[in-house]
């Protein structure tokens, strides 16, 4: 009877442990919002081409080739940090990347791409930032991987580092046969 | 006083302490648990007006109207939206399109009067409850599932 | 190169932690002095290795070496030097490194200062500390390596979250960690005692200073965090019952209980198994605190980034450390003999009541913090529990605690005399009634503040009456009392100071909750507003430039009822790198409260200003300071010094 008292703390702790373990499951991951896009069709959008080639809509993401969609801006320093990674993806591996200049003046964005090199197959312009919000962009840079049918497969917030590239993005790209 | 009596007193004292705490907790639970709701649940009439709740969602684009210290704006989970009235200074990170949580009371006309509006200290913030409400509504943004 | 040395030292520390726990525990079991000495040396070496590693990381932040991922993500070359330095622990990896560094510091401290301890007890304490260090070092090396490289190195970093660029917050985490981790010593003592199968007065005496050190830091850390929220967040609130605050408060509550129950163990050898449990609980709550902040398990306004992999790892560590120690407790503690007998009305009785109330109070905070998670696990409902819950559960429990806090020190050990006690309380009752009458007269209509401040007055006057009694007053002459004052142990003054400090803080809490006056409104240049006897006038708005931000500033002139004039300059700062805005409140402190001005939205026809007079707030910070000073004073008492040889032989 007396011993029972001393076992009580363990029982309470086990219950707590169970609750905490449950709380950690990936379903409940508080950062789960981005995964809501994952496995779903890309949001509808209609954006002007940065180089004035007319309006582009989400159909461009469903042309059969998997693509990266990269939100960037000339004012964004981490974007510069990830720029070499994007360039090597485009030039060395031939990955299609669509850039979205987010809340950025057209001339600034163009000047920046001219200065640092342009890895984008197509550059769109989201001056008001609305499309970014539709995509759930927190802050830039952010990168999405869309399969050939317009379905979002992967998202990364923050600059693409070589680690993230090799650990997360490359296996997915290889899975798509790229 | 013997060892037995002493122990009895200690046990009684502890029991009293625990009972008092349990009573306090029960009482507090009765009226102080703030439930969290998304706009869809509010529009579906799941919330009793006058009860203190939290609502969360994304601030609707172009809905923010400021008159002096009074602010009104809408929040949405993609399906429904709810109007929020608030008096005070908004958090630094309050923006259109940003996920926020407001605490306050709903009135009969389904307008929410907030006494507190919270955003997080990091722009990468999406309050988990907001994420949940958005998930429950099935849409992250209208038209996404087509 | 420096980074590589740092990384190497980190891995080396992992090896040393293994050696420290292995040799110490094995040596203690075998009663082999050589092995135990190796264990002790390993504790020193582990500390040096971690210090080296931490220095290397600090260097990377100071020279803005963006080839390290943590630096690139949390620093920026344009940041002021102090915040580059604070950036070292302003992120997950660095903060955990600081955590183990402090743990190793305490391990080394036990090796150094604990030489008066029985050798096997000391070796076991060091061994258990080594085990904790081992777990967390494995966590760092496995999932949170601060020396991870980015290649190619970015040109500049992402900058530290501007809200965290603040002096209060720069020193807040290290202090909090010193507190959290400091309780690891009490924990290790508890485990060692369970292994030894022996708890006696000497054990109580050794545990107390270590607990006191941790308690002082935790008190300081919590107060600083609260102070930071008060002036940085610009809402004027100082405690929000946010999960992150609660998790630091829970070990404080049990730590305070432990501090008091250890006295009973030391003086009367009673409450032994309870004290052991408290020591285990206190450190367990510290670990859970670290875990919750890091896992994003609970909704909080300020939490670190979430990484489920890390969460699972820490949860595993928690399961082993807490579960293991509780199992050991259930196995060994029932065999401990009960201690000295005491009457319900006695010093022990009062301390027991203190422990019960503190533990119950902790349980309510615990329930409020984790209930949402538990409910969600059971039926998926999302709920949150806010301040009203705590003011209905926690606050009422504090009332008997404050009453008992006053009486306790006046009671003798073993058996008290109610009649004698009543005699001594006469003066106290008089002083309390006097203060309550003043408050009632000043603030007619509200009874709660009268009651709250009356409680504080009760505690302060009992502390003073107790001190006077110890000096022999009023019977003895002043000269005799003065002589005795020098001979009184410092711990006695420390206790009185800490109790008074808490009471002063209570006055601050009560005053700020009931008497704060506030105005929020749109003001144009030239507009004025009267509030709480102050006359505010918005003179003009101007732009300002900081090292890594731009600011808008309001110039507000304020005139108090005495005719003194000054200007206050609240700011809104914009940090371009993070695209983030922060609010800098302008605060002017007076004896009776803070004048607090914050700048809100700038609109076409003016700016939103929030003017407030936050009554009694400075008392809160002053009370916290007294608590810390009281703790330090007690710590300086030579009777508490572990190495004091006379005490060891006496035991």
pLDDT in tens, C518-562: 888 888 888 899 988 899 999 988 888 888 788 889 999 999 888
The closest CB to that of B146, out of A36, A41, A130, belongs to A41
To test the contact with chain B by mutation, choose from A29, A138, A141 the residue with the greatest count of B C-beta atoms within 10 A, namely A138
The owner of tokens 């680690």 is A163
The rounded Cα C150 to chain-centroid distance in angstroms is 36
Chain C's closest residue to B119, CA to CA, is C301
| Site from B15, B58, B79, B144 to mutate, A interface, most A CB atoms within 10 angstroms | B144
Closest CB to B123: pick one of A41, A44, A138.
Answer: A138
Nearest to B32 among C363, C388, C600 (CB): C388
To 5 degrees, how large is the angle CA C7–CA C8–CA C13?
100
Contact B17 C386 (CB under 8 A): no
Asked if the model's pLDDT at residue A75 lies above 70, the reply is no
Q: Give the CATH architecture of domain A35-175.
A: 3-Layer(aba) Sandwich (3.40)
Above 60 in pLDDT, residue B122?
no
Q: CA-nearest residue of chain A to B138?
A: A36
- Residue C328 has what pLDDT? 94
> What tokens does C8 get?
């190497």
pLDDT at C470 over 50: yes
Q: Does B1 touch chain C (CB under 8 A)?
A: yes
Largest CA distance in chain B: 80
Can you tell me the mean pLDDT for C466-483? 85
**Cβ <8 Å between C608 and B69:** yes
Listed range (A78-82, C349-353, C620-624) with the worst mean pLDDT: A78-82
Interface test with A, best of B14, B98, B126, B138 (most A CBs within 10 A): B126
Between chain A and chain B, the number of residue pairs with CB atoms below 8 A apart is 52
Chain C nearest CA to B109, separation (Å): 23
Q: Closest approach of chain B CAs to the CA of A9, in angstroms?
A: 15
Say whether pLDDT at B30 is over 60. Answer: yes
Assess whether the previous peptide bond of B120 is cis (omega < 30° from 0): no
End-to-end Cα separation, chain B, in angstroms: 80
Contacts of B128 in chain A (CB under 8 A): 28, 30, 32
**A135/chain B closest Cα distance in angstroms:** 9
Q: What is the DSSP string of A8-44?
A: HHHHHHHHHHHHHHHHTSGGG-GGGHHHHHTTSBPPP
Question: Out of A9, A19, A30, whose CB is closest to C296?
Answer: A30
Owner of token pair 């939290």? B54
Per-residue pLDDT, A31: 36
Partners of C607 in the β-ladder? C523, C602
- Taking the CA of residue C393 and the nearest CA in chain B, the distance in Å comes to 5
DSSP labels, chain B:
--HHHHHHHHHHHHHHHHHHHHHHHHHHHHHHEEEEE-HHHHHTT-S-TTSEEEEEEEEPTT--EEETTEEEEEEESSS-EEEEEEESPPPTT--TT-EEEEEEEE-TTSEEEEEEEE--SSTT---HHHHHHHHHTT-SSTTTT-
Structure tokens that stand for C48 in this block: 């040096």
User: Which SS3 state, helix, strand or coil, does residue A56 take?
Assistant: strand
pLDDT at residue C35 in the model: 94
Question: How many residues are there in chain B?
Answer: 146
C108/C137 Cα distance (integer angstroms): 16
Chain B's closest residue to A37, CA to CA, is B140
For C225, counting Cβ atoms within 10 Å of its Cβ (0-12 exposed, 13-18 middle, 19+ buried), the class is buried
Nearest chain C residue to A17 by CA: give it. Answer: C319
Dig out the tokens for A124 from the structure: 């769109």
> Residue A29 is nearest to which of C273, C280, C306, comparing CB atoms?
C306
For residue C6, pLDDT over 90 is answered with yes
- Nearest partner of C92 among C284, C246, C314, C282, judged by Cα: C314
Q: pLDDT tens digits, residue range C24-48? A: 999 999 999 999 999 999 999 999 9
Q: Give CA–CA dist C148/C362, Å, rounded.
A: 39
> Model confidence at C68, in pLDDT bands (50, 70, 90)?
confident
Residue C222 pLDDT grade (very low, low, confident, very high; cuts 50, 70, 90) = very high
> How distant is the alpha carbon of residue A20 from its chain centre?
29
Which alpha helices (DSSP H) does A44-144 contain, by range?
77-93, 106-116, 130-134
Residues of A in contact with C154 (CB under 8 A): 77-78, 80-81, 159
Of the candidates B2, B21, B36, which has its C-beta nearest C383's C-beta?
B36
Pairing of strands C550-559, C565-568: antiparallel
DSSP state of C236: -
Contact B36 C382 (CB under 8 A): yes
Ranking A135-139, B130-134, C99-103 by mean pLDDT, the lowest is B130-134
Q: What pLDDT is recorded for position B137?
A: 45
pLDDT in tens, B70-116: 888 988 876 778 899 998 777 766 777 677 888 888 888 888 998 88
- Residue whose structure tokens are 């080594």: C130
Say if residue A14 is preceded by a cis peptide, omega within 30 of 0.
no
The DSSP code sequence of C111-174 is: HHHGGGS-HHHHHHHHHHHHHHHHHHHHHHHHH--TT-B-SSPPSS-----GGG-SHHHHHHHH
Rounded to 5 degrees, what are φ and ψ at C544? -145, 160
Size of interface B-C (CB pairs under 8 A): 117
Range with top average pLDDT, A79-83, B98-102, C623-627:
C623-627
Domain range annotation of chain C: 1-160, 517-618
Q: How far apart are CA B60 and CA B95, in angstroms?
A: 9
> How many angstroms from the chain centroid is the CA of residue C563?
40
Average pLDDT over residues B25-43: 78
CA gyration radius, chain B: 22
- B131/A44 touch (CB, cutoff 8 Å), yes or no: no
Subunits adjacent to chain B (3 or more Cβ pairs under 8 Å):
A, C
DSSP at A61: G
Q: Cβ of B27 and C392 within 8 Å?
A: yes
Tokens at C435, concatenated: 């203060």
Q: Does B83 touch chain C (CB under 8 A)?
A: no
Least confident of C64-78, C118-132, C133-147, C394-408: C64-78
At C351-387, the pLDDT tens digits run 999 999 999 999 999 998 888 878 877 776 767 777 8
Is some CB atom of chain C closer than 8 A to the CB atom of B4? no
Looking at domain B35-136, its CATH superfamily turns out to be: Nucleic acid-binding proteins (2.40.50.140)
* Chain-chain contact of A81 with C273 (C-beta, under 8 angstroms): no
The answer on pLDDT for A34 being more than 50 is no
Specify whether the CB–CB gap between B63 and B96 falls below 8 A: yes
Most confident segment among A114-123, C290-299, C409-418, C625-634: C625-634
Task: Using an 8 Å CB-CB cutoff, list chain C residues near B68.
Answer: 521-522, 603, 606, 608
With cut-offs at 50, 70 and 90, classify the pLDDT of residue A30: very low
Tokens of A148: 């050939």
Closest CA to A36 of B129, B75, B141, C380: B141
Task: Give dist(CA B112, CA C168) in Å, integer.
Answer: 36
Query: C256 pLDDT band (50/70/90 cuts)?
Result: very high
- Quote the CA–CA distance of C354 and A82 in Å, as a whole number: 57
**Averaged confidence pLDDT in chain C:** 86
- Determine the residue among B59, B131, B138, B139 to mutate to test chain A binding: the one whose Cβ has the most chain A Cβ atoms within 10 Å: B131
Contact A10 C330 (CB under 8 A): yes
R_g of chain A computed on alpha carbons: 21
Q: CB–CB of B126 and A33 under 8 A?
A: yes
Residue C554, phi then psi, degrees to nearest 5: -105, 135
Residues A121 and A146 sit within 8 Å (Cβ to Cβ): no
The residue ranges of every structural domain in chain B are 1-31, 35-136
B118 and chain C: CB distance < 8 Å anywhere?
A: yes
Distance CA C394, CA B32 (A): 13
Q: Which of C161, C287, C292, C373 would you mutate first to test chain A, the one with the most A CBs within 10 A?
A: C373
| A167 confidence band (pLDDT: 50, 70, 90) | confident
What phi and psi values does residue C547 have, to the nearest 5 degrees? Answer: -60, -40
Contact A31 C296 (CB under 8 A): yes
Q: Which residues of A touch C (CB under 8 A)?
A: 2-3, 6-7, 9-10, 13-14, 16-24, 26, 28-31, 75, 77-78, 80-81, 84, 139, 158-159, 161-163
Mode of pairing for the β-strands spanning B52-59 and B33-37:
parallel
Cβ within 8 Å of residue A65, ≥6 positions away: A96, A148
Selected residue of B63, B97, B137, B145 to mutate for chain A interface (largest A Cβ count, 10 A): B97
B35·C580 Cβ contact <8 A? no
Q: What is the pLDDT of residue A139?
A: 61
CB C389 within 8 A of CB C242: no
Between CA C488 and CA C477 the distance in angstroms is 16
The verdict on C590 touching B (C-beta cutoff 8 Å) is no
d(CA B42, CA B40): 5
- φ/ψ (deg, to 5) at C341: -85, 145
- Strand-pairing partners, residue A68, are A97, A145
Chain A contact partners (≥3 CB pairs within 8 A): B, C
Which ranges constitute the DSSP H helices of C569-613?
A: none
């Amino acid at each position: 009877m007396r011993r029972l008292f001393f076992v009580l703390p363990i029982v309470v702790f086990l219950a707590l442990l169970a609750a905490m373990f449950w709380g950690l499951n990936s379903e409940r991951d508080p950062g789960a919002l981005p995964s809501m896009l994952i496995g779903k069709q890309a949001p509808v959008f209609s954006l002007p081409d940065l180089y004035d080639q007319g309006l582009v809509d989400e159909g461009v993401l469903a042309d059969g080739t998997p693509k990266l969609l990269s939100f960037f801006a000339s004012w964004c320093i981490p974007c510069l940090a990830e720029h070499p990674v994007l360039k090597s993806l485009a030039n060395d591996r031939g990955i299609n990347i669509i850039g979205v200049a987010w809340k950025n003046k057209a001339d600034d964005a163009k000047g920046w791409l001219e200065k640092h090199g342009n890895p984008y197959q197509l550059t769109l312009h989201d001056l008001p930032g609305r499309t970014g919000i539709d995509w759930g962009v927190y802050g830039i840079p952010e990168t999405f991987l869309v399969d050939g049918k317009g379905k979002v497969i992967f998202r990364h917030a923050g600059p693409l580092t070589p680690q993230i590239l090799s650990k997360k993005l490359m296996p997915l790209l290889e899975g798509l046969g790229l | 006083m013997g060892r037995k009596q002493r122990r009895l007193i200690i046990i009684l004292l502890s029991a009293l302490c625990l009972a008092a705490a349990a009573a306090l907790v029960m009482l507090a639970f009765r009226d102080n648990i703030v439930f969290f709701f998304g706009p869809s649940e509010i529009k579906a009439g799941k919330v009793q007006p006058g009860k203190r709740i939290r609502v969360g969602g994304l601030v609707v684009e172009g809905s923010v109207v400021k008159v002096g210290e009074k602010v009104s704006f809408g929040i949405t989970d993609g399906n429904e939206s709810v109007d929020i009235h608030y008096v005070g200074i908004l958090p630094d990170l309050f923006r259109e399109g940003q996920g926020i949580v407001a605490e306050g009371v709903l009135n009969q006309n389904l307008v929410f009067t907030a006494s507190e509006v919270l955003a997080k200290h990091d722009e990468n913030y999406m309050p988990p409850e907001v994420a949940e409400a958005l998930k429950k509504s099935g849409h992250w943004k209208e038209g996404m599932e087509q | 190169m420096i980074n590589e040395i740092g990384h190497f030292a980190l891995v080396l520390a992992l090896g040393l932690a293994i050696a420290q726990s292995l040799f110490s525990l094995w040596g203690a079991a075998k009663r082999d002095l050589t092995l135990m000495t190796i264990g002790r040396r390993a504790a020193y070496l582990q500390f040096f290795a971690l210090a080296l590693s931490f220095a290397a990381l600090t260097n990377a932040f100071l020279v803005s070496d963006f080839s390290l991922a943590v630096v690139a993500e949390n620093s920026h070359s344009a940041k002021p030097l102090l915040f580059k330095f604070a950036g070292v622990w302003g992120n997950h990896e660095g903060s955990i490194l600081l955590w183990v560094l402090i743990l190793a510091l305490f391990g080394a401290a036990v090796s150094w200062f604990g030489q008066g301890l029985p050798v096997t007890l000391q070796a076991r304490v060091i061994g258990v500390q080594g085990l904790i260090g081992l777990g967390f070092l494995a966590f760092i090396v496995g999932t949170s390596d601060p020396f991870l490289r980015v290649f190619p190195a970015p040109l500049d970093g992402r900058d530290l979250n501007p809200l965290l660029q603040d002096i209060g917050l720069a020193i807040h985490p290290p202090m909090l960690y010193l507190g959290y981790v400091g309780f690891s010593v009490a924990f290790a003592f508890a485990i060692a005692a369970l292994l030894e199968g022996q708890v006696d007065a000497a054990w109580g005496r050794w545990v107390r200073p270590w607990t006191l050190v941790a308690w002082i830091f935790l008190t300081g850390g919590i107060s600083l965090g609260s102070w930071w929220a008060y002036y940085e967040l610009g809402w004027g609130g100082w405690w929000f019952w946010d999960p992150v605050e609660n998790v630091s408060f829970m070990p404080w509550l049990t730590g305070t209980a432990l501090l008091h129950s250890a006295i009973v163990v030391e003086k009367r050898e009673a409450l032994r198994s309870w004290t052991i449990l408290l020591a285990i609980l206190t450190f367990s709550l510290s670990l859970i605190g670290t875990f919750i902040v890091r896992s994003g398990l609970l909704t909080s306004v300020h939490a670190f980034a979430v990484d489920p992999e890390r969460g699972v790892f820490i949860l595993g560590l928690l399961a082993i450390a807490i579960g293991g120690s509780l199992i050991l407790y259930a196995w060994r503690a029932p065999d401990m003999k009960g201690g000295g007998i005491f009457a319900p009305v006695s010093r022990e009785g009062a301390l027991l009541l203190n422990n019960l109330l503190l533990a119950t109070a902790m349980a309510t905070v615990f329930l409020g913090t984790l209930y949402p998670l538990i409910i969600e696990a059971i039926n998926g409902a999302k709920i949150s529990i806010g301040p009203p819950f705590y003011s209905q559960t926690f606050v009422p429990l504090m009332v008997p605690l404050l009453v008992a806090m006053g009486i306790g020190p006046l009671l003798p050990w073993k058996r008290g005399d109610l009649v004698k006690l009543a005699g001594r309380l006469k003066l106290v009752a008089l002083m309390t009634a006097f203060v309550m009458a003043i408050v009632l007269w000043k603030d007619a209509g509200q009874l709660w503040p009268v009651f709250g401040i009356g409680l504080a007055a009760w505690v302060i006057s009992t502390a003073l009456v107790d001190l006077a009694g110890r000096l022999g007053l009023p019977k003895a002459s002043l000269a005799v009392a003065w002589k005795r004052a020098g001979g009184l142990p410092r711990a006695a003054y420390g206790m009185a100071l800490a109790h008074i400090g808490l009471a002063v803080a209570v006055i601050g809490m009560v005053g700020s909750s009931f008497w704060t006056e506030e105005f929020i409104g749109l003001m144009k240049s030239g507009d004025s507003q009267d509030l709480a006897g102050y006359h505010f006038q918005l003179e003009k708005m101007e732009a300002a430039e900081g090292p890594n931000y731009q600011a808008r500033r309001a110039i507000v002139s304020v005139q108090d009822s005495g005719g003194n004039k000054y200007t206050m300059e609240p700011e809104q700062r914009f940090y371009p790198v993070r695209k983030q805005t922060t609010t800098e409140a302008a605060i002017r402190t007076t004896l009776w409260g803070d004048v607090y001005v914050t700048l809100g939205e700038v609109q076409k026809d003016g700016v939103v200003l929030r003017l407030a007079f936050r009554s009694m707030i400075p008392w809160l910070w002053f009370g916290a300071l007294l608590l810390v000073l009281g703790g330090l004073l007690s710590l300086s008492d030579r009777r508490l010094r572990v190495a004091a040889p006379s005490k060891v032989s006496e035991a």
